[in-house]
């Protein structure tokens, strides 16, 4: 007796999984070490390049650029390459990655064009103001867009998305203000260290502090009877 094409070796017969239900290749996940390298490698390379080049200048086509702008010129293709590699390996590109790459090219390019490092230093301010404004606008119109930004990578119920959206929008606006204060009031060395290590540390600490919200409002295993967060 031949085995039915719809049966499994260790269980009862079942229908083949339809093609539209199968996990698409577009959702391949990167190994943690590779994801970390692609996300933070360009930033660390910028930090190292600036540390080596600060206090020096490079003349290109008759125009003198200081070490900060030379490091910026190196950072732009690195962030684009990392973004392209991530897209090639996973088959997808998050909205945050795309918007970050666009702002790096636009503001970094303006800084190089006008030979003015302030454009690149304002990039985090513009990025965080954009995200914070969009998230607050989404809340005001009944559409918490944080889920859209994160591509549903964080499984939360509707109330959880609203709370996380409000908290993260507030954080983005605070970071925009903090970035302005750091680059305007402190040295370039301080700002580079803040951007390379301070901002990622703040974001990491923020998400670690949301553990209670994730437990109460996570969809996985949540039957809707969990205690509301106060």
pLDDT at 11 > cutoff 50: no
Task: Identify the pLDDT of residue 167.
Answer: 93
Name the least confident of 46-60, 125-139, 143-157, 180-194.
Answer: 143-157
> What does the pLDDT look like over 146-163, one tens digit per residue?
777 665 567 788 888 889
Task: Specify the pLDDT at position 230.
Answer: 38
Does residue 106 register a pLDDT over 90? yes
Contacts of 63 (CB under 8 A, 6+ apart): 115
H/E stretch holding 136 reads helix 123-140
Banded pLDDT at 7 (limits 50, 70, 90): very low
pLDDT-derived band at 62 (thresholds 50, 70, 90) equals confident
Q: What is the pLDDT of residue 149?
A: 64
pLDDT digits (tens, 9 = 90+) for 119-145: 999 999 999 999 899 899 988 888 777
Alpha-carbon distance 49 to 56, whole Å? 11
The answer to which of 68-72, 151-155, 184-188 has the lowest mean pLDDT is: 151-155
Higher pLDDT, 202 or 29: 202
Cβ neighbours for 175, distance < 8 A, ≥ 6 positions apart:
124, 128, 199, 202
CB 213 within 8 Å of CB 164: yes
């Amino acid at each position: 007796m031949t085995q039915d094409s719809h049966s499994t070796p260790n269980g009862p017969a079942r229908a083949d999984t339809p093609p539209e239900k199968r996990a698409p290749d577009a959702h391949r996940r990167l190994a943690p070490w590779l994801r970390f390298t692609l996300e933070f490698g360009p930033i660390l390379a910028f930090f190292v390049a600036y540390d080596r080049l600060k206090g020096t200048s490079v003349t290109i086509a008759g125009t003198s650029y200081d070490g900060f702008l030379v490091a910026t010129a190196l950072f732009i293709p690195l962030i684009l390459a990392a973004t392209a590699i991530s897209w090639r390996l996973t088959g997808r590109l998050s909205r945050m990655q795309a918007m970050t790459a666009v702002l790096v090219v636009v503001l970094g390019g303006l800084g190089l064009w006008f030979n003015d490092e302030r454009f690149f230093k304002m990039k985090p301010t513009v990025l965080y103001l954009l995200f914070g404004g969009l998230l607050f606008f989404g809340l005001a119109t009944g559409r918490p867009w944080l889920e859209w930004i994160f591509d549903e990578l964080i499984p939360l119920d509707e109330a959880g998305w609203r709370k996380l959206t409000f908290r993260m929008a507030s954080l983005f606006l605070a970071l925009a203000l903090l970035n302005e204060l750091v680059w305007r009031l402190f040295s370039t060395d301080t700002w580079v260290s803040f951007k390379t290590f301070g901002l990622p540390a703040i974001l990491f600490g923020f998400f670690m502090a949301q553990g209670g919200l994730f437990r109460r409002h996570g969809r996985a295993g949540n039957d809707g009877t969990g205690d509301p967060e106060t």
